[in-house]
Chains A and B, each alone.
Chain A
Amino acid sequence: MNVTPARIFVLWHPDYPIGAQIAQGIFDWFRTPDSHGIQVHYRSQPDPRRDDGLPPPMPLDRATLNLVVVLAEPKMVRDRLWRQWLSELAEENEIPRECRRAGSGSRPGFVKLYPVALHRTAYNLPGPIRALNFISPKGIGRGNDAEIEQDLAALLRNLQTRLTEAFARLLTQKLKEESSPKGLLGRMLEWFHSLAERASTMADEPPKVKVFLSHAKRDGTSVAKAIRDYIYQNTQLSAFFDENDIALGFKFAKVLDDSLEKDSVAMVSVNSDYYSSRPWCRREIQIFSKPRRNDQDIWEKPAVLVVQSMSGGHVAHAIPEFGNAPVLRWRADDEALCIDTLLRETIFRSYHSHVAWLIKNELASRDPRRNRVFINWAPDPLGLELVIRQWEQNQLHDWEQAVSAAKEAKQKRPPRPKLRPLDVIYPGPGMSTIELESLTERFPEVSLLSFNEARPMP
């Protein structure tokens, strides 16, 4: 089993009647149907292979970061065995006893517990858990199971929001410590890291990280404004909305480009009737969705969420730069879903960059001369085209520099690099055949390998 950047464990008492449904909701949010995203595991019923009455042990040394969600309600709170288990887990979360006892010798991953208060008695869990900041989803009331079950969708939505934000912070911070990938996502990691230290550094608080809201004014600003207002009222992000965000007297295009290339970590593209025909909007998406290489040599594309808000009856053009970006049809009051989806996509990209980095290190000793390009998004024709061309230019540029250096040192001229064969290694278990065939037809000289296909089995 390979080490992964992060894993989620959902813990609930086996007698809690809606625990499995909530766990399934968490699974479905963090793990897409085509097996993208973060692995989610369940811990509830006792392990039939053991006699301690507890769920199976969590293999904490298999992930850099173990995110443990505890669904706290009376059944769990009153169960002595669970209390003891959770106490131990909370007390020893940095160096779990389980791992030491197992004597595996491998370094246990970092463990972070997220108790979720699903009932007013949740806070009566033992001290070490009680000391943690609970997630309290809206709409729990007094925690009546029947009431919760009636509006389970609303509870799940709210829980997804809270967990996404919480995970984004920790995941990015911890993964940064592990591999420190720079680039756009690297900056997001730094920002999340800084959040934890905010209280003590209020005087020189770092600037907030921005979400770029790309929209066409001609179609009105209500959607973009609603999202912007949500960002300011409910999150710790900031938004680049329009020219009003540019200080007077500064060069318009320069500030805009800087915001797109350096300041913004993610983009919401409000795809309204005239969006695709506005040159500035096209320019924004074009600049923002260009692949960039981080300092670990992983090619990254920042997350874009397309919010579809066409009014109907108007014919517009599709935009190739959207690639495989998630698309959400706009509905009033869906601002939270927009930002959660964007944040989740950002988590996935960051996660994929980290997995790519792990695989790159694993493969470094095997056939090190093989050409490999690692990307952190599900490949699309335009993105792939750009990344391959940029990679080739970089290779030739490096070679030309080596040639000049050799000439100066009066050494033998290095051979021109061979640009093929080339493996492009992309996230997830693999594409559907139709996607794969379409890309293979377009790039016949390139081998497209999923992380799973590229990763050597132990």
Chain B
Amino acid sequence: MKLHWQILVVDDEEVMCESLAAWLREDGYTVDTASSGREAVTKAAHRDYAIYFIDLKMPGGMDGIETMMQIRKQRPDASIIIITAYATVDTAITAMKEGAQEYIVKPCNPEEISLLVSRIVKVKNLQRENSILRKKLSRQYVFHDIVSKNARMQQVLTLAQDVASLRSTVLIQGESGTGKELVARAIHNSGDRASQPFVAVSCAALAETLLESELFGYEKGAFTGAAQQKRGKFEMADGGTIFLDESGDISPKLQVDLLRVLQDRAFYRVGGSEEVRVDVRVIAATHVNLQQAVAEGKFRDDLFYRLNVIEVRIPPLRERKDDIPMLARHFIERLAHELGKDISDLSEGALRSLLDYNWPGNVRELENAIERAMVTCRARQLGEDDFAFLTQSTAAAQFAIPAGMTIEEMEKLLIVATLDRTMGNIKESARVLGIDRSTLYEKIKRYNIQR
């Protein structure tokens, strides 16, 4: 995992600079050079180098110590190694006092530099891994963790940030895999409830009665198996935020209960007669179009208006393809650490195949695709071949049923897809479709399907 760490070598003598840089490049690092302190400071402002080798004696009014101090102001996490031709205890002490991590005298033993760099990189890798794990463990995501430069996405994030500190109910709409929970957690963690609990409930995962007792809790003896009183998710989230995922799947009865909680911030436990009052902020998410569900009578309009106080609509990945390069690199960097692989980038061709793909599973699918490619990749960058499975699944995924299609159109599509899969074998296709061969022939003729 060397490739993620970039090194800057600063020396006024070109031959020194270049020879050290070349030697480090052979070791697999990405290395830049600067011929003066000023140039180094400018470069440090543009790029986050992990390690700096800085020569102590440099002309032009900015020596190594001064350069180091300037860089440390911008990049407090950087490791700085001071190089000098003449070792004196005084300069060594000054350098270390000002924050140099190491101090080497040139010419330096190759083994010494090699050990030094690998030791620093080891620590940096551990620090990075630690922060990734910590984040995973606590899931303390903030807006900064949402990777996007897409203009629509930025609007979404600005809106979410603006409402973070309010108690207003938020409805997050977006396809599956677009990061609805991530946005919900970011809203929670950026608001004044950040120190309070964030409780996530998936409304689709549980049957109606189970979800009811899950959300509102139950009293002892409320039903068989209710051996003791249990607090529900609304109570657990008291003071904090409750995240109702897949809220479009809530049953009509529960919709009524939920409406009451939203109106009164009060509810009864299952089998209970005592009213429980809570201070909970509700963030609901759904991958189905709730407006449409309301129009179709599947979702109560009064609940919809209660939930839809602030609407956050996350665009699907195919509508913000400009984020794909950035997201892909973000996942590569993180997964390289998790998988222990020295992969730092992806080729032009690979990026093209990512951009060509439609991403029905959105960002989550992209993340999984990159993980799959990285597991099998043996090179230092992901190539087009590593994503060959995408084009295969694109061919298979062409069979989608968009709303607004007639049954006949759908039938034609299904027959075409089945024939494709059986490579035109009528007998096999008829078996798969569960119809007679003669019926299949008739339909092929009627729909004018080319074979």
Decide whether A and B are members of one complex: no
> Which residues of B approach A to under 8 Å, CB–CB?
none
> Which residues of A approach B to under 8 Å, CB–CB?
none
